[in-house]
């Protein structure tokens, strides 16, 4: 329910200098069960649960963790939203089910190692490697809670709504007055007054007010101490025993904080990520996979964006954003080519280099060595300008490789389409 909704809500509701600001993209995303464990460490109320990776583990959890439970919530674990309404490629409908305890084992077997397709995964879906078994709670009310970063107020912003468990972005569009936003002074931290405003916005029906205020303060503490970029709970539920419980949560963390959040970043599940982006990160390359057919290797983010634009202008579609940076080594260039050629959709590769700190002869040597190591089955168009450009062109010419050279940006963008 919760995964992915705040990015859309923030883009619609957070105004920055008169323009709509999209959610920050530099982030670590963790699974629901990992988020629940982390919140529990900060004293935040979460449902009792256990994660399993095999049918045998399901048996053990039912025996040791839920010996007297009559019903169990079985949740597939993937890094994408819309799990409840998703469909497995095997035909099973729904990635989240409430079943009788004796049925949990057979259901988990149908989920584990199967591909779940949701509105956020794309048609390829994601493999369910873990299943989260949770207690079924008696909920009397469902609310929405989130903390994100707001440039307008230059600090954390708490978003709350008395209605949760549903599409919060649709609710915000139709009934914006129902959304309560409480900015927090990043230097003072959250005050009792701030937390009370949030609780008033949530409007719990039976939960103890002071206990609810303390829960809000603990959520803010988690957000700050773990370098979150986003903490979203949907629903933040009210139970029959008058408690606020984070029934389903999504947490993202700033990549720049990896050096001081080693325990959290060790939770990263690379099996849920684009393997091209994982390989690029290991090679210290800036790469984002797209859906086009022309692979791009460029130095500098600005030139990379311009290259993608001019490809579109000439009728093509870029397969990626790939910035090798200003000081890439020959080895990084080779790795870049391996990543580009691993994409079956790529029909041609465009290398566009303006040599400054990044010398053209280094790029040229990397291209030649990459062509020798990688079985190139698509044409490669190379446009070089700048430092050591003549040496770079000579290396390409003397390599004996079938490489297509381009004189300018328009020429470079047109040739992959021929």
pLDDT at 414: 87
pLDDT at 355: 80
pLDDT at 6: 54
Lowest pLDDT segment from 14-18, 209-213, 239-243, 307-311:
14-18
Residue 248 labeled ligand binder: yes
Distance CA 130, CA 128 (A): 6
Residue 309 labeled ligand binder: no
Distance CA 202, CA 163 (A): 8
- DSSP 3-state percent helix, strand, coil across the chain (nearest 5): 35, 25, 35
* Mean pLDDT, all residues of the chain: 88
62 Cβ contact partners less than 8 Å away, ≥ 6 residues apart: 69, 72, 101, 104, 105, 133
Categorize the per-residue pLDDT at 356 as very low, low, confident or very high, splitting at 50, 70 and 90.
Answer: confident
Residue 300 labeled ligand binder: no
> Is 287 one of the catalytic residues?
no
Counted residue by residue, the chain has a size of 418
pLDDT at 358: 75
Categorize the per-residue pLDDT at 194 as very low, low, confident or very high, splitting at 50, 70 and 90.
Answer: very high
DSSP 196-265: HHHHHHH--SSS-HHHHHHHHHHHHHHHHHTTEEEEEEEEEEEETTS-EEE-SEEEEEEGGGTTT-HHHH
Residue 155 labeled ligand binder: no
Which of 33, 132, 144, 287 is flagged as catalytic? 144
Q: What is the mean pLDDT of residues 271-287?
A: 88
Which of 105, 232, 293, 335 is flagged as catalytic? 232
> Is 33 one of the catalytic residues?
no
pTM, to two decimals: 0.79
Categorize the per-residue pLDDT at 26 as very low, low, confident or very high, splitting at 50, 70 and 90.
Answer: low
Categorize the per-residue pLDDT at 321 as very low, low, confident or very high, splitting at 50, 70 and 90.
Answer: very high
- Domains in the chain (CATH in brackets) are 48-135 (3.30.1490.20), 139-266 (3.30.470.20), 274-417 (3.40.50.261)
Residue 201 labeled ligand binder: no
Categorize the per-residue pLDDT at 410 as very low, low, confident or very high, splitting at 50, 70 and 90.
Answer: confident
């Amino acid at each position: 329910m919760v995964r992915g909704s705040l990015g859309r809500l923030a883009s619609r509701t957070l105004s920055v200098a008169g323009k709509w600001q999209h959610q920050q993209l530099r982030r670590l995303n963790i699974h629901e069960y990992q988020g629940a464990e982390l919140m529990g460490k900060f004293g935040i109320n979460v449902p009792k649960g256990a994660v399993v990776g095999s049918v045998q583990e399901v048996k053990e959890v039912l025996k040791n963790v839920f010996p007297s439970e009559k019903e169990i919530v079985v949740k597939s674990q993937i890094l994408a939203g819309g799990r409840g309404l998703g469909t497995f490629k095997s035909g099973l409908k729904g990635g989240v089910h409430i079943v009788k305890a004796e049925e949990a084992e057979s259901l988990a077997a149908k989920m584990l190692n199967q591909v779940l397709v949701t509105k956020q995964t794309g048609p390829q879906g994601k493999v369910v490697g873990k299943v989260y078994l949770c207690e079924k709670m008696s909920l009397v009310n469902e609310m929405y809670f989130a903390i994100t970063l707001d440039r307008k107020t230059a600090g954390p912003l708490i978003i709350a709504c008395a209605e949760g468990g549903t599409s919060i972005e649709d609710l915000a569009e139709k009934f914006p007055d129902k959304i309560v936003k409480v900015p927090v002074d990043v230097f003072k931290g959250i005050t009792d007054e701030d937390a009370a405003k949030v609780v008033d916005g949530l409007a719990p029906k039976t939960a103890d007010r002071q206990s609810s205020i303390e829960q809000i303060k603990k959520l803010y503490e988690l957000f700050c101490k773990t370098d979150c970029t986003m903490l979203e709970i949907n629903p933040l539920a009210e139970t029959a025993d008058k408690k606020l419980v984070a029934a389903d949560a999504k947490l993202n963390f700033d990549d720049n904080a990896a050096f001081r959040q080693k325990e959290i970043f060790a939770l990263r599940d690379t099996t849920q990520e684009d393997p091209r982006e994982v390989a690029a990160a290991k090679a210290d390359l800036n790469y984002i996979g797209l859906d086009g057919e022309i692979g791009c290797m460029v130095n500098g983010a600005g030139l990379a964006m311009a290259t993608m634009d001019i490809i579109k202008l000439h009728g093509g579609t870029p397969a990626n954003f790939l910035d090798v940076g200003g000081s890439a080594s020959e080895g990084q260039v080779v790795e870049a080519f391996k990543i580009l050629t691993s994409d079956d959709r790529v029909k041609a590769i465009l290398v566009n280099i303006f040599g400054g700190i990044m010398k053209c002869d280094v790029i040229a040597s990397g291209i030649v060595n990459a062509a020798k190591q990688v079985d190139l089955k698509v044409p490669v168009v190379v446009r070089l300008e700048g430092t050591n450009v003549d040496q770079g062109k000579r290396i390409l010419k003397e390599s004996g490789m079938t490489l297509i050279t381009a004189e300018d940006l328009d020429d470079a963008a047109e040739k992959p389409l021929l």
